[in-house]
Structure 1
């Protein structure tokens, strides 16, 4: 019944139905009126005819002129075709005469024939009775004709109404048909064709609103297409593959990078296909798949090793959409370089780059593993702690480069004299450690003798001189007498220094009753002195200027720590800093310097920026970056005015923690400088991992820079690398005009040294600001 869908057809049918019902009711009413009128007319005819018959026949009956009576009755039937039968009765109802219409069948009367009996009176005197039958068929025919005429007129009216209504509806709904056509075009995506003017009536206003809606949809569609184009361009330029599956696990979208990662043929279409089938079309094979921890609910992550050597990180995320039922969002990322970098960082974090041995970080991990193993096996864990005798003399006399060669030689020699189950470490500088599981003390002593003899038979050529390498070894054991694995290094350290006291090139086993402990107690006394200096405000800050090389203008100040002893004399940092670093007090000293420096910058914003030296122990203080940030926020100092200097040796010794610490300082907004750069010269390998801003070239390369071609080459290389990496350089120990001029020639950015400025408590650039602080931990 598609024709019934049309609004005009429904209106036409509705009007025709209503009109037909009204006309039907009208016909019923008119029919009742015709019937009532017909009955009334028949009654009148009967009454008039009865009076006529009475006047015609009553006198003849009264006079008993029966012959005339019959003749008169025949004449009446002849004159009145509708009169079928006449019968005259006397007063006693006895028939006197009767006459029938010869053309009618009186036995079977016609429809419409009515019988009547009346009294025949003459002057109100009853003379007899009359019975007659009168045919009223003409009235029935008339009534039938009227009814037929009404049906014809009604049908004609309905047809005319339908025709006129159809024409009228066609005219009135012309605008609606145009709107329907326009909406169908919009449904097909055609928003360009405007809707024609439809008049000023309601349909016209509807058409105008519809056209405004079309224009709005057209604009929004254009914006959406533009946004979609931008989004597709963005997704296609991303270095990760993006793919979306619908609720039926069929592909709805992918970017170009997805094809690139899986080396898929760009000419194929993968829409509305399962991802599993698509990956089968890739020329690459998944060699292994490892599930890794998700970062959020509804996420699944896998690392896939591909046949071409790459590692792909697949992340699958649930997408919930009420309209579409949701689906899955897949992100494919090539993490090959990241994995290689992580492996490299892991290697750098646990291995010493100079010697290739395990470093201090690896030592801390391994000592606990081996202690646990030894305790389970009811054996001893022996720690042999040793350094090279007179190694400082080699560095100072022949330079750090030759010192590094010596350390490499020692490491290579040691590798050939240890067993595969023994672990050798370089802890920093010339300090080495060897961990070994032994059955008794004698086995460890035998190992120590083997090391001493191996190194004693190793010589190193220094120009025309040959130097023999000697070492002093301290041995400690777990679980006895060191009940705690953490105490092994300090006990071995005490034993090592006792071996040096005995003349070096020997070994000593840790003895809790050793006199060396007395000296360690003295060191503890120093720790108490440092505590007093902190509590009694006997720590001072002295400042040395750092100047721009090209114009010798002051760039910033370096804060240097000094302590006054009981006699109020200044103690050189070399006397208390090593002790403070060993017992952890250096962290509190660092906080003091940070607090005071920030306070001074807040007191006078016009003073130069301040550089602060931080100990390597600060890397272990995870709360220090927060402390710095709080101090900066409290005093409202710009973080860019603080430069933190980290020594290269300590940074390289624990590169992973150092890198995180540097990132934290950068997040605050501070500048970071790598101090004593070049001391190991293996440090170039770390520059791509350490995001420092400034390199401070170690003073050993600067002191005779104007006369040493070797130092000049080293410094020139350092400056070239630093500039290539976008880092500034500072030269320390500038002690003459010639050294300053050479630094200028080589392109060094800044410098400090006694030629430019000496450390001073009241530096001229500070004005009258005091460097003292009545300080409490915040």
Structure 2
């Protein structure tokens, strides 16, 4: 059946289906771009999915002709609505096809045909296993020199980090494999933040893709996304002015919800800060009136009363631990306990951030970024605060918290 369709002779009869999904900026409260794709084409009343179209095209040796026809339909439809507009058009570039025709200038000719500024076109490089990196870079350098922007997607498939170094993208899309459940998954949040930090260093913008829920949208913005994309704002569909208007209503709603979230977050953090400040002061008051030899006994009482603490211990002014590490984790898995063990009395902490930043920066209190605790194997935040003992000796109280329980 497949061999009976000669796409080369049927190209002019194909009715190519093009769909668009909005890409939005909540900060600008607007649709800033459209991601154009094709689902396939209709041929004599029968719909042929895109993968089958390229199967037939490959057999007829006309992949580039089909690729060009699809891209022209996308650009043509985009231009009907976004003429003389500043919106970005995202076009998927399949390097498996394009690499055979590098230097032909077909994409530049196409945007010139429809009077679209190349600076408004984002070429999304699609190919996880690029065999000829030199051809890829030649293609990118050629089109970037004409003003085109280049994008890669991170989070699905293989060789993702290689793609960043090979492509040197202007835009990084973070895929649904990372943004799914990001509003509740701490590890995905940290991966997202790492990509945001990387993007800043290489002067790239971040698009959070796969957004289907309000919570995902707000979390992605909070983590540093510049733009959002996903079914929450609109599925891939035919482009029209009504589509853009309905999307902008959702963008304005998310903007108002994000503003509300930030207001509530500030109030929550103020309340939390006061709560933990009082808690630390209470513990220090108790420690400052007893002998150093009694610290461990007192800390056992403390850990029993406050279940938000993971570990508590005291250092002297040189960074040496003068109490036991008191922890709630009594029955750690044997295989885990070989790696993660609470520090013992006499351990030197002078190279730990919660000590040397406190000392070298002249601070009275220091709060670390989240890190893996060597005491428990869990993610934690350490708060260290100086205090004086009954003999006027300087000490440092260190408390490890689960980062989900505290915002300071």
TM-score (norm 1): 0.29
Deviation, structure 1 residue 567: 7.0
1:681/1:598 Cα in 2 relative to 1: closer, same or farther (>3 Å)?
Answer: closer
Find the partner of 1:642 among 96, 121, 132.
Answer: 121
Task: Find out whether 1:631 has 2:102 as its counterpart.
Answer: no
1:756/1:540 Cα in 2 relative to 1: closer, same or farther (>3 Å)?
Answer: same
Mapping of 1:342-741 within 5 angstroms? Answer: 522-525=1-4, 528=5, 530-531=7-8, 534-565=11-42, 568=45, 570-573=47-50, 576=53, 585-600=62-77, 604-606=83-85, 608-623=87-102, 625-650=104-129, 652-675=130-153, 677-679=154-156, 682-741=159-218
1:678/1:533 Cα in 2 relative to 1: closer, same or farther (>3 Å)?
Answer: farther
What secondary structure does 1:636 align onto?
coil
Mapping of 1:147-162 within 5 angstroms? Answer: none
1:705/1:556 Cα in 2 relative to 1: closer, same or farther (>3 Å)?
Answer: same
What secondary structure does 1:734 align onto?
coil
Deviation, structure 1 residue 645: 0.7
Render the CA deviation track for 1:165-210: whole Å, top value 9, x for unaligned.
xxxxxxxxxxxxxxxxxxxxxxxxxxxxxxxxxxxxxxxxxxxxxx
What secondary structure does 1:546 align onto?
strand
Render the CA deviation track for 1:302-341: whole Å, top value 9, x for unaligned.
xxxxxxxxxxxxxxxxxxxxxxxxxxxxxxxxxxxxxxxx
What secondary structure does 1:658 align onto?
helix
Single out whichever of 564-573 and 542-551 deviates more from structure 2: 564-573
Render the CA deviation track for 1:626-660: whole Å, top value 9, x for unaligned.
1222333444331112111112504x443221111
The aligned residue for residue 320 of structure 1 is none
Mapping of 1:239-388 within 5 angstroms? Answer: none
Question: Is this contact kept in 2: 1:695–1:730, CA < 8 A?
Answer: yes
1:636/1:566 Cα in 2 relative to 1: closer, same or farther (>3 Å)?
Answer: closer
Counterpart Cα distance in 1 of 2:224 and 2:59: 38
The aligned residue for residue 380 of structure 1 is none
Question: Is this contact kept in 2: 1:608–1:765, CA < 8 A?
Answer: no
Deviation, structure 1 residue 693: 1.0
The aligned residue for residue 760 of structure 1 is 237
Give the total of aligned pairs: 242
CA RMSD, Structure 1 to Structure 2 (Å)? 3.0
Deviation, structure 1 residue 616: 1.9
Q: Which has the higher contact order (CA 8 A, sep 6+)?
A: 2
Question: Is this contact kept in 1: 2:137–2:167, CA < 8 A?
Answer: yes
Render the CA deviation track for 1:597-637: whole Å, top value 9, x for unaligned.
44456652237331111112234233565122233344433
Deviation, structure 1 residue 756: 0.8
1:661/1:580 Cα in 2 relative to 1: closer, same or farther (>3 Å)?
Answer: same
Counterpart Cα distance in 2 of 1:756 and 1:697: 16
Counterpart Cα distance in 1 of 2:117 and 2:239: 23
1:616/1:523 Cα in 2 relative to 1: closer, same or farther (>3 Å)?
Answer: farther
Counterpart Cα distance in 1 of 2:33 and 2:242: 10
1:708/1:631 Cα in 2 relative to 1: closer, same or farther (>3 Å)?
Answer: same
Question: Is this contact kept in 2: 1:550–1:744, CA < 8 A?
Answer: no
Counterpart Cα distance in 2 of 1:533 and 1:761: 24
Deviation, structure 1 residue 673: 0.8
Question: Is this contact kept in 2: 1:696–1:732, CA < 8 A?
Answer: yes
Question: Is this contact kept in 2: 1:533–1:539, CA < 8 A?
Answer: no
The aligned residue for residue 361 of structure 1 is none
Counterpart Cα distance in 1 of 2:166 and 2:12: 39
Question: Is this contact kept in 1: 2:64–2:98, CA < 8 A?
Answer: no
Question: Is this contact kept in 2: 1:662–1:691, CA < 8 A?
Answer: no
Q: Unmatched 5+ residue regions in structure 1? A: 1-521, 768-778
Counterpart Cα distance in 2 of 1:601 and 1:624: 25
1:552/1:755 Cα in 2 relative to 1: closer, same or farther (>3 Å)?
Answer: farther
What secondary structure does 2:105 align onto?
helix
Counterpart Cα distance in 2 of 1:680 and 1:756: 25
- Structure number with the higher helix fraction is 1
